[in-house]
């Protein structure tokens, strides 16, 4: 069968890209078209996203994709979760806030004073994260005057097409989607003082949102439909993860490590709430039962800080190679400690945690990197064990997808600390999930639930890491 082409916009918290996906019934290939930086910008009132630059990079990437591949048939958009932009009279109200901005701390207290955490969990199934959208809504001074609140991929889709929608996998991260019905919990919104008018029409992965506005089509060079995909990047990544069995765990690893299992029904027990596990929607209505673990953010912020100290770029591949040569026990810290969540002096904060625990701070950078990787891996292994216990599953393997699948010492450390084989790859799982949902909507791939993973498994072979016995 002749391959057909689609374009995927895949936006992460540190970078974005546009890729071309060429898909047939049994194979998929990706071509990177453009990559551009993304990240927080400090404004007078706090941390924001430079959304204008982000959107212009998306447009430029799509135009280049069409130039390279005129046969592109559709566009899909995914991004990180929880952040949003407000519309008033069809126009964006300011720059979207960044989820790491400190403003949400007040929102947490106000929300929990109105709705206890136990009730919130029964209603939305979400783990507690201080930056979840409903906490941001609670402190947003512009909310009352807005016509709509659109999560980042939905906001870009609106600017491309003129249609306001909320794709369900990402809407499930807001805290305002009923975990049982996958519809807006309007009663909860009312109790929290969140106007229901800002919550747009819900759509599911595979639905066509609309065609490009004429002026956008002119800039891009083609009149194309925008198809809803798993617009939460983790939903797209998990949809493409070639899970080897129903008992396999997944880790979508980048800035964050999203660690969990795929379930058919939400797990809303008190034990799941106490362990801070979330029940987010995946593609085809499946539940992503997972826990957010701080991922490679710890390493990237450390490297950034060292680069500022040195006044030069730090060679990460060389550091990783040196880290694998570090022998013996290295000290561990809690990768999820709240002190590590904001941008800043990451080496200093990690050193402070080690000092507080009585551990010796590694004296050279290779050992320090090894401590970071082993601490992340330890948190990953703990989350996998907990997920299996809470879901009543005997986990038999771990699939690491995303950028972290290229980090060989992290993958090996995760295998060692979990005692389970790790299957690493594909690195471009999010873009693959985005592309394949579009391809399925176009009739290229079967509607069978596992068809997307079958195509991925035929196209890419993961790297296997078997657990080694820890010698310390």
Percent of the chain with pLDDT over 90: 90
- Least Cα distance to 259 among 167, 385, 390 occurs for 385
What span, in angstroms and rounded, lies between the C-alpha atoms of 167 and 169?
A: 6
| Average model confidence (pLDDT) across the chain | 95
DSSP reduced 3-state for 91: strand
Give exposure, 326-362, as e/b (b: 16+ Cβ within 10 Å): beeebbbbebbeeebbeeeebbebbbebbeeeeeebb
What span, in angstroms and rounded, lies between the C-alpha atoms of 215 and 223?
A: 10
For the chain, what percentages of helix, strand and coil (3-state, to nearest 5) are there? Answer: 40, 25, 35
Q: Is the pLDDT of residue 94 over 60?
A: yes
Span 143-184, pLDDT tens digits? 999 999 999 999 999 999 999 999 999 999 999 999 999 999
DSSP reduced 3-state for 70: coil
The pLDDT value given to residue 405: 96
Element holding 189 (H helix, E strand): helix 186-191
What span, in angstroms and rounded, lies between the C-alpha atoms of 230 and 205?
A: 5
What span, in angstroms and rounded, lies between the C-alpha atoms of 383 and 376?
A: 11
Exactly one of 50, 154, 233, 382 is catalytic; which is it?
233
- Phi first, then psi: give them for residue 353, nearest 5 degrees: -65, -40
Contact 253, 402 (CB under 8 A): yes
The pLDDT value given to residue 34: 97
- Least Cα distance to 241 among 459, 457, 20, 22 occurs for 457
What tokens were used for 37? Answer: 């930086």
Annotated catalytic residue 233: yes
Span 309-363, pLDDT tens digits? 888 888 999 999 999 999 889 999 999 999 998 888 999 999 999 999 999 999 9
Span 208-266, pLDDT tens digits? 999 999 999 999 999 999 999 999 999 999 999 999 899 999 999 988 899 999 999 99
Where do runs of H (alpha helix) occur along 34-116? 51-68, 104-114
Segment 431-441 shows an average pLDDT of 97
Q: Is the pLDDT of residue 472 over 80?
A: no
The pLDDT value given to residue 304: 94
| CA 130, 105, 269, 125 torsion-angle sign | negative
């Amino acid at each position: 069968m002749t391959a057909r082409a689609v374009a995927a916009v895949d936006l992460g918290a540190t970078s974005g890209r546009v890729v071309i996906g060429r898909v047939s019934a049994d194979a998929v290939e990706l071509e990177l078209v453009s990559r551009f930086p993304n990240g927080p910008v400090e404004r007078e009132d706090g941390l924001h996203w430079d959304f204008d630059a982000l959107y212009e990079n998306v447009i430029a990437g799509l135009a280049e994709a069409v130039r390279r591949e005129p046969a592109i048939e559709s566009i899909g958009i995914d991004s990180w979760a929880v952040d949003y932009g407000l519309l008033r009279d069809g126009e964006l109200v300011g720059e979207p806030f960044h989820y790491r901005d400190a403003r949400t701390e007040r929102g947490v207290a106000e929300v929990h004073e109105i709705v206890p955490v136990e009730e919130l969990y029964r209603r939305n199934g979400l783990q507690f994260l201080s930056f979840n959208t409903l906490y941001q809504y609670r402190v947003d001074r512009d909310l009352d005057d807005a016509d709509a609140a659109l999560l980042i991929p939905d906001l870009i889709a609106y600017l491309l097409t003129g249609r306001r929608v909320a794709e369900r996998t990402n809407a499930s991260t807001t805290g305002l989607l009923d975990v049982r019905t996958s519809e807006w919990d309007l009663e909860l919104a009312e109790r929290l003082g969140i106007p229901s008018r800002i919550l747009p029409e819900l759509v599911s992965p595979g639905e066509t949102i609309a065609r490009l506005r004429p002026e956008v089509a002119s800039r891009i060079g083609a009149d194309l439909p925008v198809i809803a995909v798993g617009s939460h990047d983790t939903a797209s990544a998990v949809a493409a993860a070639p899970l080897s069995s129903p008992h396999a765990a997944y880790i979508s690893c980048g800035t964050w490590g999203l660690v969990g299992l795929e379930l058919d029904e939400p797990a809303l027990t008190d034990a799941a709430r106490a362990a801070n596990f979330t029940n987010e929607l995946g593609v085809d209505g499946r539940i992503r039962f997972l826990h957010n673990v701080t991922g490679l953010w710890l390493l990237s912020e450390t490297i950034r800080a060292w680069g500022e100290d040195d006044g030069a770029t730090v060679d990460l591949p060389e550091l990783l190679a040196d880290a694998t040569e570090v022998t013996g026990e290295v000290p561990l810290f809690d990768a999820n400690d709240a002190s590590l969540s904001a941008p800043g002096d990451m080496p200093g904060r990690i050193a402070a945690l080690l000092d507080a625990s009585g551990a010796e701070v590694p004296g050279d950078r290779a050992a320090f990197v090894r401590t970071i990787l082993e601490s992340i891996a330890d948190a990953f292994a703990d989350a996998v064990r907990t997920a299996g216990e809470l879901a009543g599953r005997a986990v038999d393997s771990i699939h690491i997808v995303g950028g972290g699948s290229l980090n060989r010492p992290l993958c090996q450390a995760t295998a060692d600390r979990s005692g389970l084989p790790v299957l690493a790859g594909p690195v471009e799982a999010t873009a693959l999930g985005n592309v394949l949902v579009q391809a399925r909507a176009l009739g290229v791939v079967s509607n069978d639930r596992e068809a997307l993973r079958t195509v991925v498994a035929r196209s890419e072979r993961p790297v296997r890491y078997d657990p080694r016995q820890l010698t310390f």
